[in-house]
Chain A
């Protein structure tokens, strides 16, 4: 791995890096090339985090384009831009893309980058598995989107209810791509969850007890547990769907007495925790941003932690509120109605805590802070409309209308996405070494938040007027024209806001280079947690030496103390406290080709399952090759100087890794083997007539 190939910017061959302070350490590795190839083989959690972010923003543009197509189609009555079939595909893929390929990986980007830093660790517990997660996710996402070029995307809504998702009703391969693609990204999430939980539980430095961890780390720990337990549920549902569609199994075959509600239950047992998987990372981000810019510690730290855990826990007991009109019976409806009302409580606790943090603070309205306040206000609206759904009779009226669309966009766009943008502005200097322009950032914020409300606010009205979701058009005299047009205009305002963000990235970078690349310093925001206690951008080895933690907000407490009157006074500058990243004597885990090789096998096997089982053979061969290579590869470069400077997360013992790695990959091995077995069985079956 590049000795000090700092993650200055996305892409590579960064001339800027070359001129920066770059003394070569004494452990130069043979594989270092400082070219784009480094990114393919890296196991550095920071680079992987950045790649997650770049990949997710790529999918974000795709998903955004799909959203604009939907809005253009609905701008006027009897729209003819999209045929009903294409419209079905567009809204389905918009949802799937935004949820699984944008919000989740953006959250993963922050989690990967920040979790080890915030707990003061060198890297994640299993760096190679971390790389595997990313590549599996990326290839899964590309596989999913390749359906556009191969006969059209999935067309059954992001939840693909059965029996509508059967071959009879959706004969194209779209839903096969959906089932297999999400299966692949699920593997990525599961591996990543195991990795990050292990990291947080096992790799904290001295003094960093669980209740000194920043809220962001806490929320992500909860999210990883949710993923750990939710992913297998959707995996089974997707396997059953895949087997139904490809091998004529009968899980959802109503002709043979199957119960289509099985899919709905399994999907939402996963699906509701998924909602919290989307929103909690954002809660974590703004719980870092708000205290920093209010210059106050977070109000009610333990309440924040426990309400996060409570949300995670209760999130498992409310799934059937998505099914109030599915005929689940009065007892189920009553029970789930009740539990749904209750889950608003811990969320309300969080909102009150944020408000109390802001209250009386010396506020600085930076762009990051504006986005964070945007989350608090917009999410509250979305949360409140959510509570209206818990009342089953009202929900019966609202189900499948635009009211629901309005609700979940207020939660996911207004909650999750705005929070992620807050995180961009906040951590950008830490990740890339330059600040995003604040003036342009404010344009970005205001366009985004105004556009957002103009787009999704009217959908509440449209929904209550009775406009149905997932219908490709409406007639002139329905009374939907005005608000639909408004919403479409709003969606383009959002698009402009997002475009300004991309412009801001390019502009700020250019200006920064023009100004001779001034370093923003370790701590440009006067922040509180450990990631600011090292140089910006983060050096490859994170910290020069272990930080012994003595309190919550350790970094802040090293900068500030109390005078005799108990007033807060600054006792040290950030530069004095922070480490300068000059220790190049740290042994880091070596890069590896095998994660990307192994990951590449998965989409090939999936294409094989859809088109020709023969294609599974090279795919499986690639997986096995990657796997065997992985096991016998020493996690550390044997050619690197290897004295006592061992500091890497992965095990040195290839055999131990074998077991560890193998376990985590069992799922996919199981998947492939099972699929092949069943495929063979199905073929035998059909041969036998």
Chain B
């Protein structure tokens, strides 16, 4: 039956040698990743709309006068810029891996992870500042919605950092050349998605003025 199996092999999802002989021409992993990202749009959509609903709803009896009072736009702009630039280092990493330039690939991915950590650091700093101004998670509807939304995003970034570090350090023995291109690409897709979510959050939550 060897010939029969050979026939079967031709439509196999993956094997060691070839790649992505699928109906769509897209590998299973990549298609699954995009499906997940597509699904995640609905997740962030729900969080953002929950926030929008409570955006001006601050009747909590405290001194809190509204987000304008606590947002530090120059600071958030800087961290937004950092996240945006981490997308650049991510594509440069992928580009390097595609060139089979393993060393540059690793460096760029570590850069990306570092920029991500800076962003998370900024977020922790921001949360601490807010908390210092008396805005706890349970203070009012605005704070609950705000911390949940930005917290979910922060967790997504953190997961991305773990993926980046996992890829860089998990391939120490096996190498991270061209053959790992798809892995890097998938991590990159996730990373860029997290970035564009922040593009939306930054505009809709921070920049669009209220009143």
Contact = CB atoms under 8 A, between A and B. Distances in A.
B54 interface: yes
B137 A685 contact: yes
A652 B5 contact: no
Interface stretch (B16-24, B70-78, B102-110, B196-204): B16-24
A658 B137 contact: no
Contact of B147 (A205, A647, A660, A678): A678
A649 to B, nearest CB: 4
Interface string B1-33: 110111111111111100000111011110111
Contacts of A122: 8, 12
A585 interface: yes
A193 B36 CA distance: 9
A197 B59 contact: no
Nearest to A228: B39
B46 interface: yes
A583 B137 contact: no
B23 A202 contact: yes
Contacts of A194: 32, 35-36, 39
A230 B39 CA distance: 8
A228 B35 contact: yes
Interface in A220-278: 228-233, 235-237, 239-240, 243-244, 247-251, 253, 256-259, 262, 266
A658 B167 contact: yes
Interface residues of A, number: 85
Contacts of A251: 50, 54, 141, 144-145, 148
Contacts of A647: 5, 8-9, 12, 15
Interface stretch (A149-157, A409-417, A499-507, A662-670): A662-670
A673 B144 contact: no
A438 B174 CA distance: 58
A232 B1 contact: no
A651 interface: yes
B141 A258 contact: yes
Where chain B touches its partner, the secondary structure class is helix
A201 B50 contact: no
A656 interface: yes
B190 interface: yes
A663 B186 contact: yes
B53 A651 contact: no
A543 B9 CA distance: 12
Interface stretch (B79-87, B88-96, B111-119, B156-164): B156-164
B11 A655 contact: no
Given A122-B12, A247-B138, A586-B5, A203 B43 contact: no
B3 to A, nearest CB: 8
Contacts of B129: none
A202 B145 contact: no
B207 interface: no
B180 interface: yes
Contacts of A576: none
Given A203-B22, A585-B1, A658-B183, 15 more contacts: A203-B11, A247-B138, A251-B148, A583-B1, A585-B4, A648-B13, A652-B16, A655-B170, A656-B182, A662-B162, A673-B155, A677-B151, A677-B154, A681-B136, A681-B147
